[in-house]
Structure 1
């Protein structure tokens, strides 16, 4: 098992070596998992990736490609010739092929599928029939099964010559048509009498997963089950694979990495993606931010007369917007986390809203008092001090409400709250804050 520190040290050593024209990799790399290799490739500039790729044996390449993020995988595949890509495909399992083919043009993917044997082609085609958010697309077909007519003694003899797939804590029992009939815990199997039929030991468990289940929900089900794997069934009750605890951990990791990426509006972008590609992707969000900035500017423009007469307003405006923005961001983050983990639902939404509004109110009173004192000493204008204090409290309360309402609404209409929530929230806090502050000033100071 390679530690995080060892992996990072190996990466830095390899990076320096490649820059100096040496394609050797450290000895510790012999113990690298596909995820460790993916980490290394994703940290290398495009040209150096290809040099390192050439040092790998063919049996390692499919698992490494499958472990990489979509954007990084696509960038690496773009460096490979058609012959090299076909060779990787020929060495890949059905699960790895689904990941690899996902980033290829449909025409190229169809051509590669046709070159597979009938069994692999069938598995890949069946997986691609599911949406990329559904479990059926990513199940593992490495599952140990036993026919319902088998005796325990026969099964035990067979197990002596078999290497069970990783994360196997039970034997799945099926009939001749591969319908799932139940499962036998390994501990029960080894403590049973040998003259029993496997069906006498098998227990039909409702802890099974449907192939059309949402991928994140499937991962959550495995985590909550206490099992290292759960069987996956098709609509006809046939066993089509399994979903393991490792698969669930991978889903959670990718999900939370995506949340962090969305906060910066970079999504699954490769570190060394082409300049034009990165520019095009980020330009969309810069444009959206520009539109929202104009909305705040229009509000300020509506009160240009009062700003011109009371210069102090221009100095103090950012404070009102900033306090609302921070308050809203704190609530937004908490709400998105609750939605992501399933801890937030309609039944407890009001309770969270009441709590966050009260927190914003008390924090607003505290910091509005501080700002009020500083403003009165700075500008010697009690009306101005009162206006900014009230504006801060109101904007923080509105921000807390918006921090809950915005992600919940976006989630209901199918838009990722982490991707769009912060942009909308910033607009709300800026517009409301400026309107209250400048509106109050125009009524009381002019």
Structure 2
């Protein structure tokens, strides 16, 4: 039987090839005077359309957009990566954006408006219905990383003072969208009371009040909770959704397992991209915009490279005396760099998934230190043996071995602490962590190796 991993790899590969084929076909079709998309394109979902749009330039996206089923428009925009969404909205006609937003769900509306310039967003909000404007206002009263901002407010709720017959009649009318077999119960001030299941309603007497049947629940989310924390709680609850409640008990909305999965996907994609030194940048964003973004980190990297060069320059005399040092220097820096990047990646993943806290940070540090110690001793002995055989110099081999051990140990600690410190200062550790780590491992590695060589060979 095909393994799960193999099946996933095959699926991604096949889907990737399919999207490439569709992109090529679409480009050819859109170059024609009269565009008519084949029938199989009507079967594509919002996620598939989003991946296709991300593989096209803005001018081709604009040609394709009118030929996509309008009912998918808002869902497609939400599926786009952040930078691609911003770039596409910048060229999409405002009337088209207004039409899309007006037919969007409350959550989709919030995500689309976030990607628009504030002036444009305010203008579009004014065109929404009073109810939709109120919902948007509530959403934007929260910060971007708070679950209250993304809670679905378009939820059918039951007043505790209603009786069973009235509620069943409302449900049978079919005018309300039901999220599951459980219903949210609130009082006249929209304060959360609890939940009641459809089975309990059907088995109850018609004249019974909902207040007599409602089940109180502790499984709720606070509207000010961090988005990732809330997502983890929904996942652990094993429920379709959890109610989102304000500090004063007011019912804000619900946060579903699908919302949680979307959050996880965004976080993991961001971490994977950053770990590979790849940003969320639109593939076809303007040249000057991409140049400006990348120039900042190239400049920072250049400064750190000069710092490492200065350290090397301090020991120029010993380099002239012992040429072998120049040959062996990259080994020390490289071993430290790899060790540090392994710890860095693990720590960033832990921060992204909420697995790291003050209580277990020291445990992770100790574990990474011991792992680095074992690996450094093993590889340092191996490298020392090769060095001694190559240059026939036991002293040089010893200096190299000690330098590798020290640099790998410092790198492991740096890989743990750098992301934590950066996050405290509000800097994305996935972006800045590798630059700082490279500086640390280069400077420490060169300083220990060349400094030790200077003490022994030039003393």
TM-score band, normalised by shorter chain: over 0.9
In the alignment, which residue of structure 1 is the partner of 2:76? Answer: 64
Aligned positions, number: 444
Cα offset, 1:235, TM superposition: 4.1
Equivalent residue for 1:201, pick from 202, 206, 213: 213
Cα offset, 1:36, TM superposition: 2.5
Q: CA 1:432/1:4 → structure 2, altered by over 3 Å: closer, same or farther?
A: closer
Kindly report which structure 2 residues correspond to 1:358-377, keeping only aligned pairs within 5 A, or say none.
Answer: 358-377=370-389
Q: Can you list the C-alpha shifts for 1:107-138, whole angstroms capped at 9, x where unaligned? A: 11111112222211121122122221122222
Equivalent residue for 1:231, pick from 225, 238, 243: 243
More deviation in 320-329 or 144-153? 144-153
Cα offset, 1:388, TM superposition: 0.4
Equivalent residue for 2:441, pick from 411, 418, 429: 429
In the alignment, which residue of structure 2 is the partner of 1:391? Answer: 403
Q: CA 1:440/1:207 → structure 2, altered by over 3 Å: closer, same or farther?
A: same
Q: CA 1:53/1:303 → structure 2, altered by over 3 Å: closer, same or farther?
A: same
Kept in 2: contact 1:395–1:433 (CA 8 A): yes
More deviation in 390-399 or 159-168? 159-168
Matched, 1:88 2:113: no
Cα offset, 1:324, TM superposition: 0.6
> Which secondary structure does the structure 1 equivalent of 2:104 belong to?
coil
Measured in 1, the distance between the counterparts of 2:279 and 2:389 equals 46
In the alignment, which residue of structure 2 is the partner of 1:251? Answer: 263
Measured in 1, the distance between the counterparts of 2:363 and 2:127 equals 57
In the alignment, which residue of structure 2 is the partner of 1:277? Answer: 289
Cα offset, 1:141, TM superposition: 2.2
Equivalent residue for 2:26, pick from 2, 7, 18: 18
Q: Can you list the C-alpha shifts for 1:310-331, whole angstroms capped at 9, x where unaligned? A: 1111110000000011111111
Matched, 1:352 2:364: yes
Q: Structure 2-normalised TM-score?
A: 0.90
In the alignment, which residue of structure 2 is the partner of 1:299? Answer: 311
Unaligned runs of 5+ residues in structure 2 are: 1-10
Root-mean-square deviation (Å): 2.2
Kindly report which structure 2 residues correspond to 1:158-197, keeping only aligned pairs within 5 A, or say none.
Answer: 158-162=170-174, 165=177, 167-190=179-202, 192=204, 196-197=208-209
Kept in 2: contact 1:7–1:36 (CA 8 A): no
Kindly report which structure 2 residues correspond to 1:136-175, keeping only aligned pairs within 5 A, or say none.
Answer: 136-162=148-174, 165=177, 167-175=179-187
More deviation in 381-390 or 50-59? 50-59
Measured in 2, the distance between the counterparts of 1:209 and 1:29 equals 40
Q: Can you list the C-alpha shifts for 1:230-285, whole angstroms capped at 9, x where unaligned? A: 11223442222111100000001101111122234443211221121111111111
In the alignment, which residue of structure 2 is the partner of 1:216? Answer: 228
Measured in 2, the distance between the counterparts of 1:291 and 1:232 equals 47
Equivalent residue for 2:50, pick from 19, 38, 47: 38
